[in-house]
Amino acid sequence: MQKKYIKEMHETAPSAEKAILVALITDKQDVEKTEVYLDELAFLAKTLNIEVVKSFTQRLPRAETRTFLGKGKLQEVVDYAKAHDIDVVIFDDDLTPSQVRNLEMAFNGETTEEAKCKIVDRSLLILDIFAIRAQTAQAHLQVELAQYQYLYPRLTNMWSHLSKQKGGIGMRGPGEKELETDRRIIKDKIALLKEKLEKMESQAQTRRKTREQTVRVALVGYTNVGKSTLMRYLSKSEDILAENKLFATVDSTVRKVVLGGIPFLLTDTVGFIRKLPTLLIESFKSTLNEIVEADILLHVADASTPYCEEQIQIVRKTLEEIGAKDKVTFLLLNKIDLLPEGEKHLPVATKENEEVISISVEKRENTDLLREKLGEIVAENYYRIYPNYQNAMNSWENFVTNEETNDEL
């Protein structure tokens, strides 16, 4: 199994923080799967400019209640961290507040005064990435809400401990700004953020109402599969960011696209990932509504990873959670340019209402076929809204004029 993102010690490059990763091998998660998950975790860390120097695994039926790892393994990891000046220990699962407390004790001793080694779990890592990726005011508020909700049950230990540290991972949130230890203040902040977001959502709803008169298509999929690349291609927009990073896109972008003379709106939004923190799903409700309200979904998957099928299942499950599972969907198996000839048609379990197309957006393989098929479905939806075509063009003209003055677009 290749370890793309885990550097060995001798390869070290200057970096802000040095990290080790920790994961369990369980009945449900075999060695190979754990390796892949660790690689994904290292990729997440890399997004935050954290250098991963080593990973540790332990075979256990389930995490130890007190310290996640068993006693012997924990000592081995602690010794390594001390010997190699490790700044962060990242766990591939979520930790309970008491596990964090006990682990902090194990890595830093009784006193937190000279605390050196931070304990970070999967959710905190993802929250940090969202914090640096957020662009719009709404996305910032959504991330802030998720961060406060994450911190709330952990206040007693994290506040005192993390506030003494200099910055970096886990410190881009509210903890950096204030040191209140009062749960009530945090509770008030959560309420205030929710209120602000509700106001924004109701404004967004009004704005989206004007879009009800048009066909809406949303891009969905696991992170880093090529959603934004497809958005750039279909909408001919050079200004959309597509890069080899997890969660390059966190906000939603909407573009007008015309296929075969029929106009529609295309939305690109945040990607999904294994164990996306529930807090984030809740906080990003408004952003995710773009998906819920769409008529057609373009589910993009990365056909070049051996975990394509699993990622597809994770996306389907997340769509179910947000209430968007029964939509007309194109399952686009992207990046087929990376597959050898003869393997370009992957056997994937399809669903009702779903059409599968193997494509390479970057190399323009089968993209014409996608445009043709998408064009057909868009037209069908369009004529359903506008049985009278002439009226349709008039209202589209109005719609375009209105929306073009809208900065959100």
Q: Which does 243 bind (CB under 5 to 8 A by kind): Mg ion, ligand GTP, none?
A: ligand GTP
Q: Are 281 and 318 in contact (CB under 8 A)?
A: yes
Helix (H), strand (E) at residue 52: strand 50-59
252 binds Mg ion, rule: CB under 5 A: no
Give dist(CA 91, CA 101) in Å, integer: 14
287 binds Mg ion, rule: CB under 5 A: no
What backbone phi and psi angles, to 5 degrees, belong to 120?
-125, 135
Give dist(CA 47, CA 306) in Å, integer: 22
Place of tokens 């809406």: 216
**Closest separation in Å from C-beta 302 to ligand GTP:** 8
Question: What residues numbered 255-314 form the site for ligand GTP, per CB under 6 A?
Answer: 271
CB nearer to ligand GTP: give 241 or 409.
241
**Closest separation in Å from C-beta 67 to ligand GTP:** 33
Give dist(CA 226, CA 332) in Å, integer: 10
Supply 45's token pair: 């860390």
**Closest separation in Å from C-beta 228 to Mg ion:** 3
132 binds ligand GTP, rule: CB under 6 A: no
244 binds ligand GTP, rule: CB under 6 A: yes
Give dist(CA 87, CA 325) in Å, integer: 41
CB nearer to ligand GTP: give 175 or 226.
226
| Interface pick for ligand GTP out of 229, 253, 286, 358 (rule CB under 6 A) | 229
| Interface pick for ligand GTP out of 267, 334, 358, 381 (rule CB under 6 A) | 334
What backbone phi and psi angles, to 5 degrees, belong to 376?
-65, -50
Torsion angle defined by CA atoms of residues 166, 245, 222 and 68, in that order, rounded to the nearest 10 degrees = -30
CB nearer to Mg ion: give 56 or 233.
233
Question: What residues numbered 232-251 form the site for Mg ion, per CB under 5 A?
Answer: 248-249
* Residue facing ligand GTP at closest CB distance: 271
Q: Are 214 and 398 in contact (CB under 8 A)?
A: no
* Residue facing Mg ion at closest CB distance: 249
Torsion angle defined by CA atoms of residues 171, 172, 175 and 176, in that order, rounded to the nearest 10 degrees = 90
Question: What residues numbered 167-226 form the site for ligand GTP, per CB under 6 A?
Answer: 221, 223-226
Q: Which does 62 bind (CB under 5 to 8 A by kind): ligand GTP, Mg ion, none?
A: none
242 binds ligand GTP, rule: CB under 6 A: yes
Question: What residues numbered 361-380 form the site for ligand GTP, per CB under 6 A?
Answer: 361-363
Q: Which does 244 bind (CB under 5 to 8 A by kind): Mg ion, ligand GTP, none?
A: ligand GTP
Supply 196's token pair: 């602000």
Between helix 137-151 and helix 122-133 the angle, nearest 10°, is 160
Q: How many positions of this chain bind ligand GTP (CB under 6 A)?
A: 25
Supply 178's token pair: 């204030």
Give dist(CA 306, CA 294) in Å, integer: 29
Residues that bind ligand GTP (CB under 6 A): 221, 223-229, 242-249, 271, 334-335, 337-338, 360-363
